[in-house]
């Protein structure tokens, strides 16, 4: 389930290329992320990769993945929040693909000035992700290791695109709205119709006003 082709005939020369690295250990049980992944696959400016499906044995093709990163302008980790972190394959991806001399360190400038953010779902409600809430930290605080990864690799870190209370989202009829925001965001990133200063500093990209939408 991936879209590796990049139909340049349908993409304007000034359109930013977006790489969505989708990681869900059990996608058949996904109530949110699988739909975002499928929506991303439909957009001509997006390469959407199911990392678990591509590397079921975790034997990641480092050269192939580095080429993917180089050939895109926006990098997105898309996943359900697992114990306040990424699913294990995305950690493996970071450990193997973001090598010294490629992503950081002497001569490691391959990712410089690319945009990076996480598109996540969290089972807990938004109020649980506050300093005085059940989880004691905001979602941005919990994702600080990834923010630091972006900093070390000289990428521009944007706020996460987050859906809270994912376990009840379908029952509460919130998924369709979230999918619309996702598609709008991807299109805005591709065409650079987005306020990057706001996108960097807001708590949740899902709350960002794009093309007149209400926050």
Q: Which fold has domain 8-207?
A: Rossmann fold (3.40.50)
User: Which residues face 156 on adjacent strands?
Assistant: 115
Q: Which residues of 51-61 are buried (b: 16+ CB within 10 A; e: fewer)?
A: bbebbeeeebe
pTM: predicted TM-score of the whole model, two decimal places: 0.88
Give me the percent of the chain exceeding a pLDDT of 70.
85
Q: Work out whether strand 161-163 and strand 156-157 pair parallel, antiparallel, or are unpaired.
A: unpaired
How confident is the model at residue 91, as a pLDDT? 96
pLDDT tens readout for residues 66-85 = 999 999 999 999 999 888 78
Report how far residue 11's alpha carbon sits from residue 156's, in angstroms, rounded to the nearest whole number: 23
Task: Give yes or no for a contact between 205 and 158, defined as CB atoms under 8 angstroms apart.
Answer: yes
DSSP helix, strand, coil percent of the chain (3-state; round to 5): 40, 15, 45
> Domain locations in the chain?
8-207
The b/e string for 168-177 (b: 16+ C-beta within 10 A; e otherwise) is ebeeeebbee
Q: What is the pLDDT of residues 144-177, one digit of tens each?
A: 999 999 999 999 999 999 988 667 666 666 788 9
Residue 18's Cα: distance from chain center in Å?
10
Distance from CA of residue 27 to its chain's centroid?
16
Give the residue ranges of the chain where pLDDT is below 50.
Answer: 1-12, 212-215
């Amino acid at each position: 389930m991936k879209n590796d082709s990049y139909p340049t005939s349908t993409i304007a020369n000034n359109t930013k290329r977006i790489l969505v690295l989708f990681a869900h250990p059990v996608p058949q049980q996904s109530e949110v992320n699988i739909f975002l992944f499928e929506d991303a696959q439909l957009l001509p400016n997006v390469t959407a990769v199911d990392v678990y499906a591509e590397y079921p044995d975790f034997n990641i093709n480092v050269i192939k993945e580095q080429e993917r990163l180089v050939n895109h302008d926006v990098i997105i980790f898309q996943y359900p929040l697992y114990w306040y972190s990424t699913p294990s394959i995305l950690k493996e991806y970071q450990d193997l693909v973001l090598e010294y001399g490629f992503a950081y360190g002497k001569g490691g400038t391959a990712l410089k000035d690319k945009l990076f953010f996480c598109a996540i779902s969290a089972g807990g409600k938004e109020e649980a992700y506050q300093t005085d809430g059940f989880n004691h930290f905001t979602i941005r605080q919990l994702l600080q290791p990834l923010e630091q990864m972006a900093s070390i690799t000289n990428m521009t870190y944007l706020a996460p695109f987050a859906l809270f209370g994912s376990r009840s989202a379908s029952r509460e009829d919130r998924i369709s709205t979230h999918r619309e925001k996702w598609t709008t965001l991807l299109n805005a990133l591709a065409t650079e119709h987005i306020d990057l200063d706001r996108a960097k500093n807001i708590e949740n990209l899902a709350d960002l006003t794009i093309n007149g939408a209400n926050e």
